[in-house]
């Protein structure tokens, strides 16, 4: 399984990275996890967006889904789209309110928001809390703790397992999500501090504790906010979990 980081900046795009987005490839199948601000541009360096087989959205904050608006433009107006109309409808596994929220994002005006329909380009499905298959990938979603409905994804293919937290605060579901995973791709928005808000994000230390509790083999840290020193986040994670690494936008990792 190959993981390419399209963007890894937390909360907003940063000077060196778009917001959250990740491309997973196995056996000729491609899925994208989140598509935050700026990630569609990076995606085009690594894959034809029409050759993506599914889009998984952990939640509907802009830093995880804003580029769906741009993707809609591409899929509707590209001069050479796939001829098969079924192939033009991208499966999107996302929170239940995604059809309405993403239609509002794309709508040309407030007056036309109610009449905007994206079903010609997307096939919306809820996050699968029971395993589903997309080509060689087995995907299962786990609800996690955040300020809006949010899911992490556990994805298996070719005998390997990647667990992706999405955005989350500490919660028991992280252990099941990442249990025995080869790679835990975990948000770590900041270095630990006493006044950190509850149920919003993980620190580097908390991401490491989640990886350790789940028995994950490797921890990849992402979603560090651009005003936070990434080295400090990594150092506190490595104090608890030695196999921790800070991801970089545009880099590819083998799971």
Map the chain to HEC letters: CEEEEEECECCCCECCECCCEEEEEECCEEEEEEECCCHHHHHHHHCCHHHCCEEECCCCCHHHHCCHHHHHHHHHHCCCCCCCHHHHCEEEECCCCHHHHHHHHHCCCHHHCCCCCCCCCEEEECCCCCCEEECCEEEEEEEECCCCCEEEEEEEECCEEEEECCCCCCCCHHHHHHCCCCEEEEECCECCCCCCCCCCCCEHHHHHHHHHHHCCCEEEEECECCCCCHHHHHHHHHHHCCCEEECCCCCEEEC
**For residue 67, what are the contacts with CB-CB under 8 A and spacing of at least 6?**
21, 35, 36, 37, 38, 39, 40
Two tokens, residue 29: 């199948």
Q: What pLDDT is stored for residue 85 in this prediction?
A: 58
Question: Could you state, in chain order, the average pLDDT of each consecutive group of 10 residues for the chain (255 residues)?
Answer: 98 98 98 98 96 97 98 92 72 97 90 83 96 98 98 98 98 98 98 94 98 98 98 98 98 98
* Residue-wise burial string across 48-81, b where 16 or more C-beta atoms lie within 10 A, e elsewhere: ebeebbbbbbbbbbbbbbbbbbbbbeebeeeeee
User: Would you say 63 and 42 are in contact if contact means Cβ atoms under 8 Å apart?
Assistant: no
Q: What pLDDT is stored for residue 233 in this prediction?
A: 98
Q: What pLDDT is stored for residue 87 in this prediction?
A: 66
* Residue 155: Cβ-neighbour burial (10 angstroms; 0-12, 13-18, 19+): buried
Tell me the pLDDT tens digit for each residue of 88-138: 799 999 999 999 999 999 988 877 777 789 998 999 999 999 999 999 999
pTM: 0.96
Q: What pLDDT is stored for residue 110 in this prediction?
A: 76
Q: What domains sit in the chain, N to C, each tagged with a CATH number?
A: 2-254 (3.60.15.10)
Q: What pLDDT is stored for residue 84 in this prediction?
A: 67
Q: Which residues are registered as beta bridge partners of 122?
A: 90
Radius of gyration of the chain (CA): 17
User: Would you say 117 and 135 are in contact if contact means Cβ atoms under 8 Å apart?
Assistant: no
């Amino acid at each position: 399984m190959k993981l390419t980081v399209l963007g890894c900046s937390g909360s907003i795009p940063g000077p060196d990275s778009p917001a959250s987005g990740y491309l997973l490839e196995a056996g000729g199948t491609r899925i994208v996890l989140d598509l935050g601000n700026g990630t569609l541009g990076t995606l085009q360096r690594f894959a034809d967006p029409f050759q993506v087989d599914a889009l998984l959205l952990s939640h509907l904050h802009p830093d995880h889904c804003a580029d769906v608006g741009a993707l809609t433009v591409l899929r509707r107006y590209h001069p050479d789209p796939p001829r098969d109309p079924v192939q033009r409808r991208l499966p999107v596994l996302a929170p239940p309110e995604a059809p309405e929220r993403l239609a509002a994002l794309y709508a040309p005006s407030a007056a036309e928001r109610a009449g905007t329909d994206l079903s010609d380009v997307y096939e919306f499905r809820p996050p699968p809390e029971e395993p589903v298959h997309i080509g060689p990938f087995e995907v299962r979603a786990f609800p996690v703790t955040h300020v809006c409905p949010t899911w992490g994804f556990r994805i298996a293919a070719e005998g390997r397992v990647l667990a992706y937290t999405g955005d989350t605060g500490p919660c028991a579901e992280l252990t099941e999500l990442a249990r025995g995973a080869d790679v835990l791709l975990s948000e770590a928005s900041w270095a630990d501090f006493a006044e950190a808000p509850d149920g919003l994000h993980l620190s580097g230390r908390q991401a490491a504790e989640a990886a350790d509790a789940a028995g994950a083999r490797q921890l990849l840290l992402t979603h560090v906010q651009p005003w936070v020193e990434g080295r400090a986040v990594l150092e506190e994670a490595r104090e608890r979990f030695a196999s921790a690494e800070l991801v970089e936008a545009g880099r590819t990792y083998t799971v």
